[in-house]
Amino acid sequence: MRSEFVVPTDLDTATRHPRAAAPGEPVGEHNPVCYGCGSRAPHGLNLRTIAGDGLTVWADMAVTPWMEGGPGVIHGGILSTAFDEVMGAIPKLLGANAVTVHLEIDYGKPVSVGSTVRLHAELLGVQRRKIFTKAVAHLGDPNDSLAIAHAVFVTIKGREHFSDYVENSRAADEYRPHFTP
């Protein structure tokens, strides 16, 4: 499948954080009301991302009728959100808080409503605060991809980054104690 994302040739390697989820364990939601992974996001994707070997993660997503874009197939924006979410679990394996600054998707084949898509993400490398990731969506054979994604995340200090916005959160009561100086 074609992708023209240019991976920098001078990335550094990184190591798994000692307290990161072990292979086979859920990476865990980063916010209980997150649209992508939150267990208390009734209109969200409720993705459960699992740590893989090395610096990889995966998640399965059932493509339900409300995800439809073209007739009988998934909306590209839903798949894009799922990719963002799953690749966004890679910084957690590094023990880092990070947000997406760049997200790029190559769509290779339609994804049928009723199918279950596996999203598999890996770390490509790091460069200062930047974390480069790649992910593939497939139906069981990673070499037969439906779509490929690349994303760049940048590490942040959670409290500084979100303090101006946390009162807008549906979980503000839970966050407030952690964000009040």
Ligand X SMILES: CCCCCCCCCCCC(=O)SCCNC(=O)CCNC(=O)[C@H](O)C(C)(C)COP(=O)(O)OP(=O)(O)OC[C@H]1O[C@@H](n2cnc3c(N)ncnc32)[C@H](O)[C@@H]1OP(=O)(O)O
Binding site for ligand X (CB under 6 A): 30, 36, 84, 88, 97, 99-102, 128-130, 152, 154, 156, 158, 162
| Two structure tokens written together for 114 | 């009723």
Measured from the CB of residue 169, what is the shortest distance to ligand X in angstroms? 10
| Residue with Cβ nearer ligand X (63 or 84) | 84
Neighbours of 34 (CB within 10 A): 20
| Residue with Cβ nearer ligand X (123 or 152) | 152
| Residue with Cβ nearer ligand X (9 or 143) | 9
Measured from the CB of residue 144, what is the shortest distance to ligand X in angstroms? 27
Write out the H or E segment, with its range, that includes residue 79: helix 76-87
Measured from the CB of residue 95, what is the shortest distance to ligand X in angstroms? 12
- CA-CA distance, 23 to 53, in Å (whole number)? 5
- CA-CA distance, 133 to 121, in Å (whole number)? 7
Measured from the CB of residue 17, what is the shortest distance to ligand X in angstroms? 14
| Residue with Cβ nearer ligand X (17 or 102) | 102
CA dihedral 46, 54, 110, 63 (to 10 degrees): -20
| Residue with Cβ nearer ligand X (58 or 162) | 162
Measured from the CB of residue 130, what is the shortest distance to ligand X in angstroms? 5
Which residue, 88, 11, 17, 107, is CA-closest to 47? 88
